[in-house]
Structure 1
Amino acid sequence: MDKPQTNISSMLNSIFGNFISKVTKEPKKLFIIVGLAVLIIVILLAIGKDSPSDVVEKLINYSQDSEWEKGKELIAEETRERYKANGVSEYIRLGMEDLVNFNGGLLDEYEITDKSITSDEGLITVNLRYDDGSDIIMEFNMVKENGKWKVLTFSQR
């Protein structure tokens, strides 16, 4: 029973041992390999994380599709809890409805016109254009919550 382990371990040692000994003899190659590994890890960690602008766009799109529950998941816990404590949980849904139906006009298009982002807070400015020709500017205050961007508040400017 000891022979298969010895064979496997000697095989792994011959494969990786040669590689490690070659790389450690050439520090420049080792530095490049480690640098590339770190870069790949950073890129992989960044993939799948929504930016503040992505979150605002999702909220607007969920509002257009009347997907209130999905939209509420993009709202900061602090805001949801505050509304819940004051007995006005529906304000989030009503705010979402107002994004897409403003004074009788339906949202036709939107454009993010400004971004101001720090490591854990942000302000996204959006121009909303409605099918009746009206435009409004909305500001979305963003906050990072458990590593994810959330909408803290949004209001007309």
Structure 2
Amino acid sequence: MHGMHSVSDWLCFAVWENGELVRSLSLSPDAGIGENIGEPYDFELPYWAGEHPVKPMFSEGPYPLPFHPLDLGEQALRALFGFVIEGRPDPDDIDPFDIHLHGFRVADATGREQAERAARMEQVLQSMKPPRRYRITPDGTLRELGDDET
């Protein structure tokens, strides 16, 4: 499993072998290291060793991690899947656009399953109480708003 989010500089990846989690890493500069399970892979070691520091921009001070998560994320893509999304591909990298995937559509030919889901949703909605709204008061407590209040 691999995920990156460029807006927050977040990276996560996880690897299972024979159904057992052997490596999981999730980190971002704002949240820090959220998960770090298992031994780092060889491709990670130069990053943890400080060989890929982030150069400060706009005098914002030192970067809170020893490397940029998205840089490590690209190396994780290469090591785990054989390609990169950004950056310069190596000659041995796979072109991800050359990979053909199969698509499947699951259909409910009778419509029975959809009707059952709709009926169950209606039951759930009927069992719910009306929504309640609250406002924080100056002393920090919550006060429930009446129907005529905005």
TM over 0.5: no
TM-score, structure 2 as length reference: 0.21
Query: Which protein has the bigger helix share?
Result: 1
User: TM-score of the superposition, structure 1-length normalised?
Assistant: 0.20
Higher strand share: 1
